[in-house]
Amino acid sequence: MRIGELWGDFVDSTPSVSRGLAEAKVAGLWPAVVGPEAAARTVSVSVHNGILTARLDSSVARSALFMQRDALRDALNKAAGGNVIRTVILK
C-alpha cells in the first residue's frame, strides 16, 4: 500500500484524528469567510471540540461579527465540507 492510502485509512478509522484535522482546516478558512477587514482585526482563531473562538482587537468588528455568528458557522462548515463547527465565540 502507498503511504497516502494508509494515512487515509487511518484518518477514516480514527474519528478524533479526522475531527482534529477538520478543525485545523476551519481555523485556516477564517480569513476567507469573514473577509479582509475582519481578518485584519482578528488576533487569534482556535477550534476545539466544535467551538471556534476568535479574538478580535476591535469591539466594533466583534459586534458586527456577533450578529452574523450563525451565518459564519454555516459558511465555515460549508467551506470545510462538513459539520465541524457547532458554536462561534467572539472575544
Looking at residue 67, what is its pLDDT?
95
E strands, 1-91, are 42-48, 51-56, 87-90
Per-residue pLDDT tens digits for 26-61: 888 999 999 999 999 999 999 988 999 999 999 999
User: Pairing between strand 42-48 and 51-56?
Assistant: antiparallel
Q: Among 39, 41, 17, which residue's Cα sits nearest to residue 28?
A: 39
Per-residue pLDDT tens digits for 71-83: 999 999 999 888 9
